[in-house]
Amino acid sequence: MNAVELIRRKRDGQELAAEDVRAFVRGYTDGAIPDYQAAALLMAIYFRGLGGAELDALTLAMLHSGEVVDLSDLAGAKVDKHSTGGVGDKISLHLAPAVAACGVKVPMISGRGLGHTGGTLDKLEAIPGFSVDLTVERFREVLADCGMALIGQTAKLAPADKKLYALRDVTGTVESIPLIAASIMSKKLAEGIDGLVLDVKVGSGAFMKTAEEARKLAATLVDIGRRAGKKVAALITDMDQPLGRWLGNAVEVQESIEVLSGRGEPDLVELTLALGAEMLRLGGAAETVEEGRDKIAAVLKDGSALERFRRCVELQGGELPVSTRGWFAEDTARVATPQAGFVTRIDAEAVGLSAIALGAGRLRKEDAIDPSTWIWLKKKVGEPVELGEDLAWFSTPRQAGREAPASVASQVTAQLRAAYTVGPERPTPRPLVLETLR
């Protein structure tokens, strides 16, 4: 396979042969193909897309770039959830233990932050000692013990996605339906699951900005899963404002623990019930979505989901609670509204980019993350604000190696202020779950 030829062919809109796609994935994973050629091919795919046969070849090549876990000897159904990426999306952290507490095992391979979105792995690593790099053997042991395990791709599990994901993050090639679909499904099919619930996000903070694109991505994901013999459902959910009120890694773990403690922000709780109910239905632990919702609500209230989370954290080497940067006046910047009325819109992508500027995510592959940095959305869509009232607070940056703190702080203040739209009338609330594909 000649990598330059392959790039040219895709650039010119021709179809790639399955064996060439496989050779490319193999070559990139083992280092024979350099980043610059892989980046050029990704950009060509971004513009030209992939046909069905090319997409299957890419997904399977990424899946078989590593080991495929066989969990058939573990009793019970194994069902996972995957989100296409959002802002403030910490749902996996409390959803996995809630579903596990209802008797369905959750073997979860998650990703890091991508583009303007946050990643479950980066949030988990805010828990001191927590390891997301388990061997496959340890992954099985943790899963058998507490009914859930939360890891990242290892050298053994979908390593091609790990490398391509990091490259896409920094080359402007994230927002592509075939690349997102192959990335998600290669990891998920490597986990040894029976069922998968996909949370396909749509809106200002999602990679898919329109319902039509989100539907197309959902259908692509469901088709790949079905062809692989899995039970799959996809929920198209609103990402037109961040989920919850906190952005940042350590603070999002804390916000999840709130949900596990029977409290939590209403949008986080609602999405957990919707996704959890679907997972229980696919896993055979609930006949109907209503029964599933009741079961998830019960384990969030009675502490059993929290107990699962604690056990998982302990088994993966971590220690709760998580420390966050405190509320010190000199450490906190405030963004006030120049207008009174109601919050009608929050540009979630702009909020996600502000969090990255503060050090909660990466601008380059090699960037380190500051787990303690945060943004707090004091106001969300539909809430009233008075003239000069604070819309959001954030931790003033103090990380070395990034731009000078003062300029980052003023950039983030301007970005957050511009992310909010305030109008005279209270907007009609948009439902969180917009559509379900089964």
CA distances from 185 to 28, 91, 101, 279, 424 (A): 19, 19, 25, 17, 44
Q: What is the closest distance, in whole angstroms, from the C-beta atom of residue 200 to ligand URA in the complex?
A: 10
Q: Is 220 an interacting residue with respect to ligand URA (CB under 6 A)?
A: no
**Scanning residues 141 to 170, which ones bind ligand URA (CB under 6 A)?**
165
Alpha helix segments (H runs only) across 173-301: 177-189, 211-227, 249-260, 266-282, 289-301
What would the x/- binding string for ligand URA be over residues 90 to 129, using CB under 6 A?
---------------------x--x---------------
Q: Is 180 an interacting residue with respect to ligand URA (CB under 6 A)?
A: yes
Q: Is 225 an interacting residue with respect to ligand URA (CB under 6 A)?
A: no
- Residue 161 is among the residues annotated as catalytic for this protein: yes
Under 8 Å between Cβ of 398 and 405 = yes
Q: What is the closest distance, in whole angstroms, from the C-beta atom of residue 1 to ligand URA in the complex?
A: 23
CA distance 431 to 200: 14
Q: What is the closest distance, in whole angstroms, from the C-beta atom of residue 43 to ligand URA in the complex?
A: 15
**Only segment of 53-61, 176-184, 339-347, 393-401 that touches ligand URA (CB under 6 A):** 176-184
CA distance 46 to 35: 16
Number of H helices and number of E strands within the chain? 16, 13
Which of 116, 163, 168, 245 is flagged as catalytic?
168
**Only segment of 54-62, 175-183, 311-319, 352-360 that touches ligand URA (CB under 6 A):** 175-183
Peptide bond just before 128 cis, omega within 30 deg:
no
Q: What is the closest distance, in whole angstroms, from the C-beta atom of residue 14 to ligand URA in the complex?
A: 24
Q: Which is nearer to ligand URA, 201 or 379 (CB)?
A: 201
CA distance 377 to 351: 9
Which of 183, 186, 354, 372 is flagged as catalytic?
183
Among 59, 65, 120, 183, binds ligand URA (CB under 6 A): 183
What would the x/- binding string for ligand URA be over residues 42 to 81, using CB under 6 A?
----------------------------------------
Which of 10, 22, 82, 231 is flagged as catalytic?
82
Say whether 83 sits in a helix, a strand or coil. Answer: strand
Q: Which is nearer to ligand URA, 184 or 218 (CB)?
A: 184
Q: Which is nearer to ligand URA, 111 or 276 (CB)?
A: 111
Q: What is the closest distance, in whole angstroms, from the C-beta atom of residue 18 to ligand URA in the complex?
A: 21
- Residue 82 is among the residues annotated as catalytic for this protein: yes
Under 8 Å between Cβ of 171 and 39 = yes
Q: What sign has the CA pseudo-torsion 251, 257, 261, 267?
A: positive
Size of the site for ligand URA (CB under 6 A): 9
Q: Which is nearer to ligand URA, 29 or 183 (CB)?
A: 183
Angle (deg, nearest 10), helices 249-260 and 304-315: 140
- Residue 94 is among the residues annotated as catalytic for this protein: no
Q: Which is nearer to ligand URA, 237 or 324 (CB)?
A: 237
Among 66, 85, 152, 159, binds ligand URA (CB under 6 A): 85
Under 8 Å between Cβ of 132 and 149 = no
CA distances from 357 to 84, 109, 277, 401 (A): 22, 26, 36, 12
CA distance 123 to 370: 11
Q: Is 84 an interacting residue with respect to ligand URA (CB under 6 A)?
A: yes
CA distance 131 to 144: 17
Q: What is the closest distance, in whole angstroms, from the C-beta atom of residue 314 to ligand URA in the complex?
A: 27
Which of 187, 201, 245, 379 is flagged as catalytic?
187
Q: Is 352 an interacting residue with respect to ligand URA (CB under 6 A)?
A: no
CA distance 28 to 160: 7
Which of 89, 161, 199, 370 is flagged as catalytic?
161
CA distances from 194 to 97, 136, 166, 222 (A): 18, 18, 27, 13
- Residue 331 is among the residues annotated as catalytic for this protein: no
- β-bridge partners, 233: 197
- Residue 183 is among the residues annotated as catalytic for this protein: yes
By CB under 6 A, name the binding residues for ligand URA: 84-85, 111, 114, 165, 179-180, 183-184
- Provide the annotated active-site residues: 82, 161, 168, 183, 187
